[in-house]
Amino acid sequence: QVQLVESGGGLVEAGESLRLSCAASGRTFAAMAMGWYRRAPGKQRELVASITSGGRTNYADSVKGRFTISRDNAKNTVYLQMNSLKPDDTAVYYCAAGLLGWDTNRYDYWGQGTKVTVSS
């Protein structure tokens, strides 16, 4: 089992920044693929960013150049740095972990989510 706990969400104004954190426990964090998803009201869940166990990253077009995913294997934590936030980024953000470290399309464990609200 893997437990994922997100933190760092909140209410910000457009143009500001937030950093989300996701602390993992229960398995070898370094071997897992990690991703950040979001679900906005009335919209489907979207994969925002992902990072393989080897450190390869991928981003949704809507956040490229603004968001950065990173991982600290010593702290068993993955981060999502979100800059130049827009009202369209308002959503609940979920952390996900995949047992196949190279596969960022399959996730086996999910966090409870942290809410991000961006006001205009």
pLDDT for the residue 75: 96
pLDDT for the residue 73: 96
- Number of H-type helices and E-type strands within the chain: 0, 11
d(C-alpha 10, C-alpha 114), whole Å: 8
Per-residue tokens: 22: 């996701």
- What are the beta bridge partners of residue 19? 81
Per-residue tokens: 6: 């997100």
Q: Is the backbone of residue 42 left (phi > 0), alpha (psi -120 to 50) or beta? A: left
Tens digits of residue pLDDT in 92-111: 999 999 999 889 889 999 99
Pick from 10, 9, 15, 8: nearest CA to 120: 15
Whether 48 and 81 have beta carbons less than 8 Å apart is answered as no
Cβ within 8 Å of residue 56, ≥6 positions away: none
Tens digits of residue pLDDT in 60-87: 999 999 999 999 999 999 999 999 999 9
pLDDT for the residue 1: 86
Q: CA dihedral in degrees (117, 78, 48, 93; nearest 10)?
A: -30
pLDDT for the residue 7: 97
Tens digits of residue pLDDT in 11-67: 999 999 999 999 999 778 999 999 999 999 999 999 999 999 999 999 999 999 999
